[in-house]
Amino acid sequence: MDDIASREEVVFWHFWGGKDRDVVDDVVKRFNASQDKYFVRAIAMPGNNLDTKLFLSIAGGDPPDLVNQDDPIVADWAYRGIITPFDEFVDATELKRVNQTLFPAAQKLGQFDGQTFAVANGLDIRALIYNKSFLAERNLTAPQTLEQFDQVCKQISPPGNEPRDFYAYLPDSRRLWTWGFVHGGRFLSGDDVQLNDASIVAALRWMKQFSAWYGPDQIAAFRRGDQSLPGKTFPLLPVNDQDQHGRYIFTLAGQWNTRDVVDFINRRKQKQLPHPEFGVCPLPVPAGGRQHAGWVNGNIFVIPRGAKSKTGAWEFIKFWIGETNANDAARTCAAGGWIPVSRQVVAEPYFQKFLADNPLFRRYVELAQSENQFTYPMVPGATFFVRKVNAMTEKVFLQPNAPVEPEIDATRQLIQNQISRIRQQYRKDLP
């Protein structure tokens, strides 16, 4: 205890609960055991109120030293001075070296205005998880191009407005981000909102075609059914023992869903029942699109303004991401089923063994290394940006009369105004 009392305390707020919290507690324990200078005190705040508490703590002059976040807040918080750039207190050479070890997607998650405001500690990548056995029975294979994907979808679920038990694939209105990047689009250039980019429009039109094929009402009703599955079952998986497919044959899903697939297969094996095989493939690409592309987010570390132990927080960050001990970080990522943010952790033998045992997860780790994984726009007002794009996509997708271009133009203008307003409000020359 004396030893701990003499160390500098690093207060760390995070939102992890359940099994993930055990992994986090273990990282903290190992860090504390490795230290004689700093002591990390982790405080779990599951739920949605971490942000509000953080603002109150900053306003009250007693913020934590380190916060984990997973929302697109970096640009907003950086612009408003809520978080501290690492460039202010970390040696430039060291910061550059750490940034260079990160995958491009992980780097993008932390950069704003030429400075590092966040360090990613785990990546969330999207790909298509599909029912391989179902396709094989019909002499079909995983599509590589969007054209092939359309054909496969129509072959499995021919267009028609009748109720169904399953669909080949249905786009989710929150995924214009993913398909927009796959089509080769960019949502922002500087401060200029690029929703009217031809590739984004093409992505939206491609999503809308599913609505034309199957009817918006049927899609809306079917999608709601996904949330009613017992125990929030991953909808790709069969619910009943006698079924060999779930509600979809393809789903655009994150790497965490591979755990659901593995658990499902193990359950079937325990019951000595046959189980379908599943596969993971990159998102199929249209002509002129980007290979191995997608929308990436992840968990990021930020240091609030007024944090007392910034250097202690930085030491903990380096420990977590494997900068000081890659093997330790490899064990953490394997335990949590998280995608590491750096090459050196992936290269660790322990993690390579983990990947060999988890081939579905391996595909996600391969995609994480792609240059074509993009984040939400790094701009003040990003949360507004994301919300409005999602709402617009939902409207265009689920309302047959909603025209694409006017909706895009209206939303683009709305977001542009919001960005301009924030820029204007925080002009440095104002009192």
Partner 1 sequence: MTERRQKFANLGPGLCFASPWVVGFVLLIVFPFLASLYWSFCQYDMVNPPRLVGTENYQRLFRELKTGEGFGKAVFNTAYFAVFSVPLSIALGLILAKFLSWKIRGQAIYRTIFFLPSIIPVVAASILWIWLLDPQDGMINYLLSFIGLGQQNWLNQSREAISVDNVKQIGQSIQTGGPLRVFGSKDGLVLISLWGVGNWIVIYLAALRDVPHHLYEAADIEGLGGLRKFWHITIPMLSPVIFFNLVMGLIKSVQTFTSIYIISEGTGAPNESLLVISLHLFVSAFSDLDMGYASAIAWLMFLGLAICTVLLFRTSRYWVHYRAGSV
From 79-87, 92-100, 140-148, 361-369, give the range in contact with partner 1 by CB under 8 A.
79-87
Please name which of 382, 295, 376, 373 lies closest in space to residue 105, comparing C-alpha atoms. Answer: 373
The identity of residue 246, as a single letter, is G
- Residue where the block lists tokens 């950086």: 78
| Cβ within 8 Å of residue 268, ≥6 positions away | 241, 274, 275
Partnered with residue 361 across adjacent β-strands are none
Size of the site for partner 1 (CB under 8 A): 39
From 126-134, 205-213, 289-297, 386-394, give the range in contact with partner 1 by CB under 8 A.
386-394
For partner 1, the binding residue among 81, 158, 160, 406 (CB under 8 A) is: 81
For partner 1, the binding residue among 1, 2, 47, 52 (CB under 8 A) is: 52
Q: State in angstroms the smallest separation of the CB of 221 from partner 1.
A: 4
Q: Does 360 bind partner 1 (CB under 8 A)?
A: no
Q: State in angstroms the smallest separation of the CB of 23 from partner 1.
A: 26
Q: Does 267 bind partner 1 (CB under 8 A)?
A: no
Greatest distance between any 2 Cα atoms in the chain: 72
**Could you give the 3-state DSSP secondary structure of residue 132?**
helix
Q: For residue 255, give both structure tokens.
A: 């790497």
Q: Does 390 bind partner 1 (CB under 8 A)?
A: yes
291: alpha, beta or left, given left = phi > 0 and alpha = psi -120 to 50?
beta
Output DSSP code: residue 164.
-
The span from the CA of 117 to the CA of 107, in Å, is 10
For partner 1, the binding residue among 33, 36, 61, 228 (CB under 8 A) is: 228
Q: State in angstroms the smallest separation of the CB of 399 from partner 1.
A: 7
From 198-206, 221-229, 337-345, 363-371, give the range in contact with partner 1 by CB under 8 A.
221-229
For partner 1, the binding residue among 24, 66, 74, 82 (CB under 8 A) is: 82
The values of phi and psi at residue 257, to 5°, are -70, -15
For partner 1, the binding residue among 7, 21, 30, 55 (CB under 8 A) is: 55
Q: For residue 283, give both structure tokens.
A: 């998102």
**Are residues 309 and 39 in contact, defined by beta-carbon separation less than 8 angstroms?**
no
For partner 1, the binding residue among 395, 405, 406, 420 (CB under 8 A) is: 395
Q: State in angstroms the smallest separation of the CB of 187 from partner 1.
A: 18
Q: Does 48 bind partner 1 (CB under 8 A)?
A: yes
Q: For residue 190, give both structure tokens.
A: 């500087």
Q: For residue 422, give both structure tokens.
A: 């924030």
**Are residues 134 and 245 in contact, defined by beta-carbon separation less than 8 angstroms?**
yes
Q: Does 399 bind partner 1 (CB under 8 A)?
A: yes
For partner 1, the binding residue among 30, 80, 245, 423 (CB under 8 A) is: 80
The span from the CA of 368 to the CA of 175, in Å, is 18
Per CB under 8 A, residues contacting partner 1 are: 48, 51-52, 55-56, 58-59, 76, 80-82, 163, 216-217, 220-225, 227-228, 305, 381, 383-384, 387, 390-391, 394-395, 398-399, 401, 414, 418, 425, 430-431
